[in-house]
Structure 1
Amino acid sequence: MNPQVVWQVWRSIMRETDLQHALFDEGGANLERFGLVGEAREAALAYSREADRAKWFVLNYRYRLANSFLNALETGAPLVLRSLLAKGFDLRVLGEEFLNLRGWKDYGPYVHTYCGDALQFLAAHKATEAPKGFRQLIGLERTVVEMLIGLASRPGPSAATAMLRHTSMARHFQSDVRLSAWMRDKKQLGKTELLDGTEHYLVYLPDLDSAHKFALLPQRAAELYQALAQPCTCEQLPQALERMGCAPSSAQDDEYLNVLAGYRAIDVPVKA
């Protein structure tokens, strides 16, 4: 048999629950409904004849993937993971539910991609409906994951530039609840209700060898960062702010731009 065909059949068996039932419980009847004909059908029947051994490998495959759900959150969204554990959720059950929706996809080394998909799943799950603020916390850590994934395809900050512009080392997140209460006291993660109130966070990397950090930005600093979604010169910045409905200039703008540059969130023009 063609090894590629055998491998594709085995991957389908590991990922498709209905196919497992047809092979291991029904003796391989009517495999055509799974698109298995010719060599593919013969390969599936061979696995069916070794049902006990094949089921053991499938069980171990799924056990490993369910464990990797926790690992993905631990790597990319530790605050969300800590909140889920504080609420007493069974991470294995959540992981299996997620993987069922994803067809038991093996993400391999792409842990941040796995984490991003897991956070998308959790953002709509009943497990995160309460307490107030949980889903905003998910949004904050999704921003981290998106930044880290984006680093693989975006250039780093340049040594010199004539424009004010974003770098790939930071992202902005706006919360409509006061996440700062949880950020100050992480023992309360997932336990206490948060108050309404707009907060602006900068997710940033001090350097490529360091872990990400969070900075709580003043409203004006956030406006300046948002205005630079399209690069512009210092002279064009007031017009960019005005288009957003913000005050075109402020006495503290230079100070805030320097703060953002210090976080490596923006590149600033090099003075001659």
Structure 2
Amino acid sequence: MSVPRLGVGLQFNPELIGWFPFLSQPLDALEILFDSVMSPLDGPGLVSPRAIDLMRDIMGKYPLLGHSNYGGDFGFDDLMSTAAVRRHVPLSQKFNVASVANHCFYGDASWSDVWSSPLQFSRAEAVRVAARARALQDLYGVPLAHENAAYYRVCPGSDLPEEEFLARMLELSGTYLHLDLHNLYANEQNHRASGYSIRRFLSTIPLDRIITIHMAGGRWIKGQYHDLHDTQVAEAVWDLLDDVLSRARPGAVILEYETQSLSCDGEMADTERTTDLILSDLERGQGVGSRLRGSEQAYDAQRGCLVEARLVWDTWRRVLRDDRLANWVVNPNSRTEDAYGCTADELAILMEYAGTPAPTESNIGMYRRGLVRNALGALDLVPLTRRLLYASGLDIEAVASEFVQSGGYADNGPYFWRTAACFVAYLAGRAEFFSRPHQDVLAIDAAGVALARRLGEAAPLIWPNTAAEIFLAESLSMNLQSIRFVAHPAATLISSSYDLTPWIENPFDFDPGQDLEASPRQWLIYVPAAESTHEYAELSQRAACLFDVLSVPKSLVELSTALNDVPQANLLALIHSLAGLGVIVSGSDAQPNPSRPAIASRKGTLAVDDLPLASDLICGGAPP
């Protein structure tokens, strides 16, 4: 495979989006974090609705590189079920990235446990992960590079230095190395006493396999050096870059930042100063850009075989999720002889973690704080519930911490809708949200989440937007008497005891203490397209009944009977209104027709006030 020669660029980190002027910078490349732009793994679509416009702006402006943090690349789940294959591979093709980098951590449909779980540096694991890496590179169709990890302790069972493990893995897989110089620096700060050496690392790895480099900064906190990306690039890292470029020819150098307030001289800089600091690093980095460009290189290697080292991974995840075991490994006074039913092999692993209590405790804390962040992030999918919580006066972090603890510290990873479902259900059981209007809101969001998860399991062949366009274009020529209608699977119906219209119209800023009218309402929730947020329409009682009985296909005659002999003229008016939204379809429109000519968008043709729907309200995405 050819290695692209690009130059110096930035990581397109979510923490910088919205305030840092990416689009006005003369970048040689932009690194996209696939995890930050992908749709939930348990929902429909490929790109998150919030990222569609953003990606459209940058795709035509810069060469793009891909980066995968949470793909489950080297876990133990079937490779084809991972986020790497189901989301990252198609995203890499959609964005036409020049190469992809992933991390040397374990992960199985999980996120928060990743950073505490570096690969086991063993001969057996080098063979196993090489096979997965080779298969992934074949799927990506572009060079796949593996980023060396920053870690607080080595995975139990390791029998090789990290650099020898990486060299073996690359030889077996035919893949490449994404060299993170700040991770090297952080590891030497934390593990120098145990013999870690950057010089030995760089003398051992195959330098001709380095295709991309990361540069960042970090800080000392409580006796440990942390790879926080919250300072300018460390001076020692610039020195390392000069050393590496004297011996290797990577294709790109990417600078990383992960905060809106960089730490500078012991103080937190404001946004303007932070921007200046980043631009200063970028200008310095661009001075080495000419050293990166040149002729392309190509490599190949042979495929490896497969063995396993799963026990350590499974045991560590038990520690992360069990307060008793977590206390056992960090607190010598809490230890029981049986370690809560662990086997002798598991106990030996626990003892290894117990031998390094400070980094082990840091890893456990990092995992659980990550769960809290992910839980609060999942609320962006359910803005009504998010507003209820954030306007409640409760300690938001404390509520999220109690939630993740109540679920046994489960890590749902990229299954964001699952996390949202669990969080909504948890809040519904708290006394602070027992009022009827609040329960109505939580029920509506629960129904929307359930709809998204169903669509993630089985996406429709034709989405409501397209179905509506087809119906509006062909309704005059249709013989509606001969059609059997059915509710679209991308829509669902939910009732409320109160009129929630003012809240649904203003999901990010409504007043949860507002007095609402106690008046039963029927709400239609639907997803217009694969990469759309939910939309909401309030239905009349008759329209709601019609939608409800269309859970199975029915003709006009059957509908009239089911609705107690409603005149067909009235039924036709209801059908036109609902079909105009695409939420009921005919049997012939339930299947895609590739020969059907393109149909113009229905801009402005739907006059909601003329329909038997009280409103057609849009709600979803993140607050502005």
Please report the TM-score for the alignment, with normalisation by the length of structure 2.
0.40
Residue 448 (structure 2) aligns with = 144
Q: 2:571 aligns with which of 225, 228, 253?
A: 253
1:31, 1:37 within 8 Å by CA — same for their partners in 2?
no
Structure-2 change in CA distance of 1:162 and 1:234 (3 Å): same
Structure 2 equivalent of residue 173 of structure 1: 494
Deviations 1:43-80 (A, max 9, x none): 00111111111000000111111011110011x21121
Shift of 1:89: 2.1
1:101 aligns with 2:406: yes
Partner SS, residue 220 of structure 1: helix
> What's 1:68 paired with?
374
In structure 2, what is the equivalent of residue 265 of structure 1? 583
Q: Paired residues, what number?
A: 265
Cα distance in 1 for residues equivalent to 2:561 and 2:398: 52
Kept after mapping to 2: 8 A contact 1:199/1:216: yes
Contact 1:202 1:214 in 2 (8 A): yes
Contact 1:169 / 1:264 at 8 angstroms: preserved in 2? no
- C-alpha root-mean-square deviation of aligned residues, in Å? 2.3
For 1:156 and 1:91, locate their aligned partners in 2 and report how far apart those are by CA, in whole Å.
Answer: 37
Report the identity percentage.
23
Residue aligning to 1:9: 315
Question: C-alpha displacement at 1:156, in angstroms?
Answer: 1.5
Q: With structure 1 as the length reference, what TM-score do the two structures score?
A: 0.89
Structure 2 Cα separation of the partners of residues 194 and 31 of structure 1: 59
Of 229-238 and 169-178, more deviation after overlay is shown by: 229-238
Q: Which is worse superposed, 139-148 or 55-64?
A: 139-148
Q: 1:125 aligns with which of 430, 438, 447?
A: 430
Q: Is 1:84 matched with 2:402?
A: no
Check conservation: 1:204, 1:264, Cα contact below 8 A.
Answer: no
> CA, structure 1 residues 33+55, in 2 after alignment: closer, same or farther (shift >3 Å)?
closer
Q: Moved runs in structure 1, 4+ residues, more than 3 A? A: 157-162, 184-189, 247-251
Q: Which residue of 1 aligns with 2:524?
A: 202
Report the residue type matching 2:442 in the other structure. Answer: I
Distance in structure 1 (CA, Å) of the matches to 2:314 and 2:534? 39
Kept in 2: contact 1:154–1:168 (CA 8 A)? no
CA distance change for structure 1 residues 197 and 8 in 2, over 3 Å: closer, same or farther? Answer: same
- Given that residues 84 and 190 in structure 1 are in contact (C-alpha distance below 8 angstroms), is that contact kept between their aligned partners in structure 2? no
AA at the equivalent of 1:22: W
Q: 1:238 to 1:169 in 2, by over 3 A?
A: same
What amino acid is aligned across from residue 404 of structure 2 in structure 1?
Answer: L
Relative to 1, partners in 2 of residues 1:155 and 1:49: Cα closer, same or farther, differing over 3 Å?
A: closer
* Aligned 1:40-59 pairs, distance under 5 A: 40-59=346-365
Structure 2: distance between partners of 1:180 and 1:112: 24
- Aligned-pair CA distance for 1:100: 1.1
Select which of 421, 425, 428 maps to 1:116.
421
**2:234 alignment counterpart:** none
Quick one: distance in 2 between partners of 1:27 and 1:6? 23
Q: Tell whether the 8 Å contact from 1:178 to 1:195 is kept in structure 2 after alignment.
A: yes
Q: Which moved more, 1:156-165 or 1:204-213?
A: 156-165
Q: Which residue of 2 aligns with 1:239?
A: 561
CA deviation after TM superposition for structure 1 residue 184, in Å: 4.0
Q: Which runs of 5+ in 1 are unaligned?
A: none
* Alpha-carbon contact 1:164-1:232 (below 8 Å) kept: yes
User: 3-state SS of the aligned residue for 1:168?
Assistant: coil
User: Displacement of 1:207 after TM fit?
Assistant: 2.1
Per the alignment, residue 38 of structure 2 pairs with none
> Are the counterparts in 1 of residues 556 and 571 from structure 2 also a CA contact under 8 Å?
no
Within 2, Cα distance between the matches of 1:261 and 1:29? 65
CA distance in 2, matches of 1:28, 1:37: 18
Return the match for 1:164 from 485, 490, 494. Answer: 485
Query: 180-189 vs 59-68, which deviates more?
Result: 180-189
Alignment of 1:207-222 (within 5 A): 207-222=529-544
**Cα separation, partners in 2 of 1:153 and 1:163, compared to 1, 3 Å:** farther
- Checking the alignment, whether the CA contact within 8 Å between 2:560 and 2:568 is kept in structure 1 is no
| Deviation, structure 1 residue 31 | 4.8
1:233 Cα shift?
2.1
Q: Which residue, 500, 504, 510 being the options, matches 1:183?
A: 504
Q: Who wins on radius of gyration, i.e. which is larger?
A: 2
Deviations 1:77-104 (CA, angstroms, capped at 9, x unpaired): 1121112111222221111111111110
Cα drift, residue 185 of structure 1: 5.0
More helix by share: 1
Partners of 2:491 and 2:394 in 1: CA distance:
31
- Matched residue of 2:342: which SS? coil
Contact 1:176 1:196 in 2 (8 A): yes
Q: Residue 28 of structure 1 contacts residue 48 of structure 1 at CA under 8 Å; is this kept in 2?
A: no
Alpha-carbon distance in structure 2 between the residues aligned to 1:154 and 1:239: 31
d(CA) in 2 for partners of 1:11, 1:157: 39
